[in-house]
Each structure stands twice: as structure tokens, then as C-alpha cells.
Structure 1
């Protein structure tokens, strides 16, 4: 039911009809899309522009020939050529009636793609288990979750994964911080939290739980004995807190993958990965020149075990084993990708903070080295979120404990505004989140505007029931019932609805969920505009007791709008309310 894909095939057939027999032509760049100006028609194609050179023709001359074939199409009302050779098509009203009937029959499956057979892993959030989620994690959580939902709806087999960083020094710092709270729970005066430890009060319950379980036993142990015990308890407590925070946001993962499992058995999975890469010729012993600017922590001016990642697109080779024999952080990342590949995934999507931009090339290179090009790594970067309250920026610092938690934001404004507004900018652009603006009931608040549109559709059906309008079974409605939809605003709504299947696939492929939020806002605007036209022109109202048959046709259109709004909001993870309070 993707009319753009359908007409792309029709345009290709029109092109093939004028290509000399036996002549090959590349049609991969040919596209059919909505025209920039709705006054130009329903569909536009660049066919003549991208094919003219290959066919040794002038674009407008080629456009005329393609247009001749398209004018013979029974669904096409007219074809016009614009500018240097763009082709604009206007479709017959009967086509839109038939498409609306298909939409109503499909109901909530409208826009859903057929199974592609692709296995996709989306890894997102993956915050260090050292404290509660803060609003900085919130954007990546929503972006990753909606990307996964879009891919699933588009037909891919998706696994949502969280990578627990439970093997680094940060979890040892967490354990020492929790141990301090444990001593406090035993009655010891601990004073100010030393620099370098986590000062947040969220570790107080962990300390109390340790005191209840172990009494004074841990105090009598050396650090080497108590640290692994406290570390495991603290990680478990932090992950329980993180899961609860994510659940408030409507985010649930299928897999929680422990980094520590990569190191078990003397680095078993990491060692196996390095051995595999060595067999493929990607491992060598050598030194690296010092990078420009500030030196990273893992840089050494000594011979190390290096990944020959420049051979697969990276901008420099990467160390995997230090001269001391210890694995680098990146070695675990490489082993983690291999683990995913061995689980059968062909695409691994990483939703990362903007400060991880340097990881993009190296992860793409790892994918090529591990899979030989049969799997890809796709990195989505999420920029910073700035919180504002009463016009003043809200500062946060995870180290100091002075930060706004994700839970606090959701509890203050609600899950739906948080999820929707985290998508209302492209993920790699900075985002300002204003507590007042995201809760105001006005058309300037996109989430309210979209949800109000859905609530309005429900109100229209309540009005229809009060007016005793007899409604058909929408999945079996006949074409004749819908033929009354001829108003320009009604056809405009049908055009916008028809964009949905294409929008879903494009947003999923591009990993750009903001496109869905923008689309829903545009659909809501078109629906509100048509509703308001009915206020000024009673003959355009959706429900008219004196025009039963026309009312049914228009209610079919309202039903279609409600369906697409509901499905779109569900993909975003927000409710589609029938009333606004």
C-alpha cells in the first residue's frame, strides 16, 4: 500500500517501454515522492533528470516520452512537466477512494511492512551502572526505542539490547562509594564524600542493604575480599534502579548483555576474537604515533597488539592489547560486535552520545573486519538535552550528585511529552526541553496538538452516534460509500495519509525517528484545518444529519486519520487518548 513504491514501478515500466531493446539502464536513482508544492499534483518523479544522460537525451524530451506512457495509466488524471524535466502527476479521485478503502480494511496494519528476513540489533542507553538514569540518558533511550519500533513495524526482526559496562574501573569506584555508605549504615561518621567517589544519596539504600546482610563482616575484610562482593551487590541495585527508570519512560530491553562475560576465562571471548582477526590478517605487533591534541588514556609509546583497522575504513589502527598484556576498552567492543554477529545479526545499530562520535569509523571498520562485509555497524549520535525551568537552565552533574533524574522529569511532565519531545529534533542536533512548554495545551505544543487530533476524532464519532448515523463495518466498506470525498481538503488529508507507509520505511532505514514526530504533527495540522473549515462552511462538516451518505464517507476519512494517528503515537510510545483532560 505504499503508493510511492507502486508508482515508482509504474514509472520504471514507462521508462523501459521507451528504452531500445537490449539496452541496459540504471534505474536505481529514480524516485517518486510527494511534490514540494501540493499545487503541482500528487506525485513527482525525477526520472527524466537522472536518466537523460544515460539515454543521450535532453531531460525535457525524455520527460515528454515518459509522460506519454504515464498518461495512459488508468489511475492518472494528468501529467505535467516542470522546470528542466521534473514530472508531476495528479491522480484520479477514484484512486484516492480506492486507497482509503484499502487503508480502512488494513486498519492498524496500514503501513506495516512484510517480513524482510533481516535480523537487527539495536543497542541503546547502555549507561554505566553507577547511578540512576538522568535526562542525558533520556534522549538516547527514546531514540533507540523508537528506531527499534520503526524497524519492527517495517518488517525487520529486531532485538533491543542494553550493554552493561560492568567490567571497568568505574564499577570499582561504585563499589568503594557503596562501601562508604555501608560503613555509614553501621553508624560510622563518614563526613564529606571524598573526591573521585560517587556522592549521590541513591547509594544510601545500598549501604543499608549491605549492613543488613553482612553486619560488620565486610569491615573486617581486606579490600581485595570485600570489593567484588560489594561491587556485585551495587551493580545489581543500580541495574534494578535503571530498569525501573526506563520502565517509567516505557522502555524495555530484550537483552541485558554483561561486558564481564567477555572477560571470563582469562578474556575468553576477547582472546577468541583477536585470534580470529589474527587469522584474517588484521592483527600485528607495532607502535602507534601519538595522536594530535590531548593524549587518550590508553595510548602507549610501546609495542602493542594492534588492529589493522585502516584497511577497512578507519582513520587509524587501534590497540587491542597493551604492552602490559591488559586488554584495551576497545578490545571488548570488538569482541562484543563479534558476539552479536555470531548471534545472526546482519545490522548492529549503536545509539551513542554525541561525545562518542569518534567511535563511528572504528565500529564500522570492526564490522567489515569481523564479518567480511556481510554485516554493518550503524551509529546514531544523540546530542545534548538542555533542561529549562522558569526560563532558567537546570544544571546537572552526575559526579557531584547534583543532577535531574530521568524519573523526576517523567513524573513531573508525564511519559508522553518526554518521549514525543525527545524526537522533535533530529537526534544529532541539540535539544532544549522546557518543562512549561511541553505541558501547555496549545497548538505550539506538538504532543498536545497530535493527541488532541486523535481525541477530536473520537469526539466526532460520539457526535455521529448521537446523530444516529449508521456506520458500516469499516473493513468491508464499499467504494460507492466513499465516493463523496471530493473536497480539496479531504483529498489533501488522503494524500497525507498515503505518505505514512513510505514515511515508516524511510524513517526506519535512515534511523531518523524525528521524521515520524514531524509527520504526525503535519497530519494533525491537516485534520484540524479541515475540521475548522467545517465551522465556517457547514456543508464540509464531518457529521451532517441531513447528508447521511456523505457523513459516512467523511467518517471513513476520520476513521483513517484516527488509525494512522494511533499507530504513529504507538510507535513513538505515547498514548492516543479519546478525551483530553
Structure 2
């Protein structure tokens, strides 16, 4: 039940009636007519821009349209329709409308707010995609949480979602991994490892070296690199992928698909994607302009095979093949996205680290060209996470060698806290993560504040059950909700009613942080109503000796609990039944 959609339907019906009555010309486009919460709650419960967006095409003044529309909207659900400013229309709804939302939330349960807005569109969300060269670090944590929560949000909003990990196993960094693992293999055989500059120094490769010894014994010692590089690369890559899967499992993240970059080579897939671009006249041989600013000493102009990405808004055309005939790193990425398009996805979403900002335009250009503009690509850049403990920078991990690992973060804060906090800022804003603050019990800690609201709701339910109130959702949905008449109670019911709308808007914007913000707001409303009960006994949720009134108030609390539980599920956080 999306009340805002319902009221918008009522507005559209009134506009149709105005057209039929000759008050509006026929053929008007109502698609830009919205019904939203007003900027100032004092102005009403909802506001519509109908008169403002229709005035020009109708050849009428906004207030003229608004006055006639207001007269048609006042009914049992809309108590008052007031024209404001140049032609905005503010709507005040009857208390019974908000009371009905509570009943609807209880009847729907965990499905309250779930919608079909996505219409089953197939969406591919590629996220994490860390190089398989070591354990996941804190930057990967934020991308993993964001991608997983976004996937859950899209699923809740009616999209068909695939979570995908793109394994970057085709580049030189995997050869570096193999050489690093070989040194740990030598170490496992009692030799001094030669961890030269450029190799991976982390202790996490020690078990890989021991596993290599168990498989090969001493047979690879002193063999030339050409004899062992490919075999150890495959062995070490699979070991790293297993470590990554285990790291993701600590956060509750499970991928649907793992795609390999290496699998694109030698299969004709890269050539097929490039041929498609070439057939469209987008591939040519040319020379790139020199880089802006001071020229590198080794700069020389040379002909390369280029993709005409400037035709789709990129700053410059991009090389896809080097002068020696080998592919650039961009070519397999083009092929990978062509593969996703061929798999029938209607939308593509890539979750990248902040250092991939220069990659956005060229990848968007490639997807537009490959799909003839049919498949949109949204690249979400994840900004850095700064770790602190009691205000001091958190020290690096010895195990990783150079960075704080995902395991470090989860061991310190727990998976639920980590996931929630990672979504308390928009993805393109830097996030400060202080291990002391995220575990403190205060209003300033959003995850604790939301969990405390859920625990309070559960405690109230238990008290009501002890006095003999049937606290099942079915019974509470049938309670006399007209007893919820206080403005503070209706305000909380209005917040519950916003949840379905929030889900749809957050899903369309690809912004799961909106869910975290909303949960904090609704928790704040619940805590506020609880605290008001300390001074006004009539606002207490449990009314001694009055089961009917208690049932109505508990229905409101339970509806809030339904929303909080659903929101936390989208974020991948387990709701707290009680606080300890």
C-alpha cells in the first residue's frame, strides 16, 4: 500500500473529471503530476504540483486550476485542500486514513512496502570485484555493503536482481601474486623468501605457500619461472578467491555470479564486442593528443586502434589495442559489458572505488554504443572510509601488510554495526568510522538508536501480552484504531505511511543510504512518543485496565517494528530483539 500513489491516483481522477467537464483542455500529459510530503509539515500531509505543471500547456493560471482541483478533491479521505503560493495544493488527510495505514502494515507484515515498481526488470549489480591478490580491505567493505544493500533494495522494489563479481584475473597483478606465492612456497620449504619490492608482503600468503608445498613438495624449487608461473597463478588465484568469499560471508554477502576476465581472452568474445563497435563506425586507427600539462619524458605520438567514445560524451577517444597488437585493459572490459548486455539485462549498475572516477565516461560510452542506447549503465563511486579509534587513526594490519582488512573491521565492530554505519553517508561522501563511537549507546550512534527502537517495540509487545492483549498481527490489525487520535500518534503513523514511497524512490535513485536515514527518523519518532508518555499518561503504549486502547497503541508500535525490521533486512542487518 503506497498511500502517496493512491492519493496521486485520486488527483489524476479529479483532473480527468475536469477535462470531461471542460475545465481543462483534452490531451494534457499528467505524467509530471506528483504527490509528495510538503517541505514544511505545517502546510499539510501531502502536496501536489498539478496546477503548476499543467498551467502552461493548459493556457490557464495555476491558481485557477488549483481552486477547481481543490473543490473536487475534498472527500472522506481528504479533509482539506488548500491552495498555497502561486498554485501549489496542500492536502490534509483524515485521521482514519493514517489509521488504515497501520492496519495495512500489519496485514502485509514483512511485505509492507514491497512493490512492483521495478516491473521485473533485470538488473545486474556488479560490486566488490577486487583484484584476487589478497584479503579484502576496508574500502572493499563499503563497496560490498553498498552493492549488497542496493541489490536487496531493488529486489524489494520489484526488480529481478543479479549480484555479480568480476574477477580481474587477466592482468599483470595476478603474475605478481604468483611470484609472491612462490616465495612463500620457498619459505615453507625452509628457504628464505625473497620478498622483493613490488611483490605482496602480507602474511596471508603463508598458508598458500604451505598448501603449495603440500601439493608439489620440493619439485618446483629452483625451477625457472616459465615452468611454474601459470600453475601457481591459478592455484594462488583460487586461494585468494576462496579468502574473498569467506570475507564476504562475514558480512553476509553472497554473489550470484562470478565472471572471469581471463575467460574473455582467446574465446573470440573481445573480438566480437570490438567488431560490433567497428560495424557502427566507432573504431579507427589514430593518434591521441598528448596528455595535458607537462609531458612525460617517454611520451611519443604513436598510432593505436581507438574507440570513438567522444561520440557519447567522453573527453577523448580511448585506445583499445596497443601498437604491438595486444589489447589494452579497456578492451576486455568492453567485452565483459557486451556479455552482460547479451545476457538480457535491462539495467547495469557498477559499484567502483573512488579511484575509478576517470573510468565513468568511457564505460558509459561503450555501453551506450554496444546497446544502441537501450541499456543504461549507472556507475556508483564509493568514497574512502577513514578509520579511527577514540579519535586516533586506526593502525594498519600486519596480516595484510599495508592495509586494514575487512576481517579487522568486522572483528572490532561486528557485521551488523559495520553494515549499518557504512550506509550512514551517501556513497560519494567520505565516511569516518570510529570504532569507539559506532559501539557507544547514544542517540549519536544511529545503529544503536534504531536497534533500541526495535527492542523497545518488542518490550512493549511483551508487556501488552502479559496483560492479556492478543498481540498477533491479525488481531492488532482488527483493533479499534480510531483510538489513535493524538497528533503525536498520527505523526508516527504518517511516518509509517512514507515507507512504501521511500522504497520506490530510493530504488529508482540507486541510493540505499536513504533507507538508513529513514530508519533513524522513524526510530526518533518512536522514541519521542515514548518519552512524551512519561509526562502524558494517555500517550503510554500500555494503558492499564484498558485492553482496547492498549491494542490500538500496540498496533501502532508493531507497525513501526514491521518497518524497522524490513528496512534492516534491506540493509542486511539483524534486528535486535532486546538491548543488553
TM-score (norm 1): 0.95
Find 2:221's aligned residue among 213, 219, 222.
Answer: 219
CA contact (8 A) 2:133 2:177 kept: yes
Q: Which moved more, 1:461-470 or 1:227-236?
A: 461-470
Assess, with a 3 A threshold, how the Cα gap between structure 1 residues 300 and 555 changes in structure 2: closer, same or farther.
farther
**1:256-283 deviation line (CA, Å, top 9, x unaligned):** 1111111134xx2101111122122222
Return the match for 1:87 from 84, 89, 101: 89
1:243 equivalent among 242, 245, 270: 245
1:385-424 counterparts in 2 under 5 A? 385-394=385-394, 396=396, 401-424=401-424
**Which residue in 1 is equivalent to 2:480?**
481
Residues 300 and 33 from structure 1, CA distance in 2 versus in 1: closer, same or farther, beyond 3 angstroms? farther
In the alignment, the residues of structure 2 paired with residue 214 and residue 195 of structure 1 have an alpha-carbon distance, to the nearest angstrom, of 26
- Deviation (angstroms), 1:395: 5.5
Deviation, structure 1 residue 400: 8.2
What is the aligned counterpart of 2:33 among 30, 41, 44? 30
Deviation digits for residues 484-528 of structure 1 (CA, Å, limit 9, x no counterpart): 111111111110001111111111111111100000000000011
CA deviation vs aligned residue, 1:214-254 (integer Å, no higher than 9, x gap): 11211242211211111111111111111111111111111
The residue aligned with 1:384 is 384
Q: In structure 2, what is the Cα distance between the partners aligned to 1:356 and 1:202?
A: 26
Secondary structure, aligned partner of 2:26 = coil
* SS of aligned partner of 2:92: strand
Aligned counterpart in structure 2 of residue 107 of structure 1, from 106, 109, 119: 109
Contact 2:390 2:437 in 1 (8 A): no
Q: 1:507 matched to which residue of 2?
A: 506
- The alignment status of 1:45 with 2:48, answered yes or no, reads yes
Q: Structure 1 residue 399: deviation in Å? A: 12
Is the Cα contact below 8 Å between 1:75 and 1:92 reproduced in 2? yes
The 5 A counterparts of 1:276-295 are: 276-293=276-293
Task: State the match for 1:573 in structure 2.
Answer: 572
2:341 equivalent in structure 1: 341
Aligned position for 1:262: 264
- What pairs up with 1:542-561 in 2 under 5 angstroms? 542-561=541-560
Check whether the contact 1:117–1:156 (CA below 8 A) recurs between aligned residues: yes
Q: Which runs of 5+ in 1 are unaligned?
A: none
| Separation in 1, partners of 2:440, 2:233 | 44
**2:25–2:58 CA contact under 8 A, matched in 1:** no
Q: CA RMSD in A?
A: 2.1
**Could you tell me whether the CA contact under 8 Å between 1:105 and 1:476 is conserved in 2?**
no
Alignment-derived partner of residue 153 in structure 2: 150
CA–CA distance in structure 2, aligned partners of residues 339 and 34 of structure 1: 42
Q: How does 1:295-374 map to 2 (within 5 A)?
A: 301-374=301-374
**Residue 78 (structure 1) aligned with residue 80 (structure 2):** yes
Could you tell me which of 54, 61, 65 is aligned with 2:64?
61
Conserved in 1, the CA contact under 8 Å of 2:463 and 2:542? yes
Give runs of aligned pairs for residues 139-218 of structure 1, distance below 5 A.
139-190=142-193, 193-218=195-220
CA contact (8 A) 1:485 1:491 kept: yes
Find the aligned partners of 1:44 and 1:101 in 2 and give their Cα distance.
Answer: 24
Aligned to 1:532: 531
CA contact (8 A) 1:364 1:377 kept: yes
Aligned length: 576
Where does residue 121 of structure 1 map in the other structure?
124
In structure 2, what is the Cα distance between the partners aligned to 1:174 and 1:319?
27
Instruction: Report the more deviating stretch, 541-550 or 339-348.
Output: 541-550
| Equivalent residue number for residue 445 of structure 1 | 445
- Provide the secondary structure at the position in 1 that maps to 2:179: helix
What SS does structure 2 have at the residue aligned with 1:17? helix
Aligned residue in 1 for 2:234: 232
Conservation of the 8 A alpha-carbon contact between 2:308 and 2:317: yes
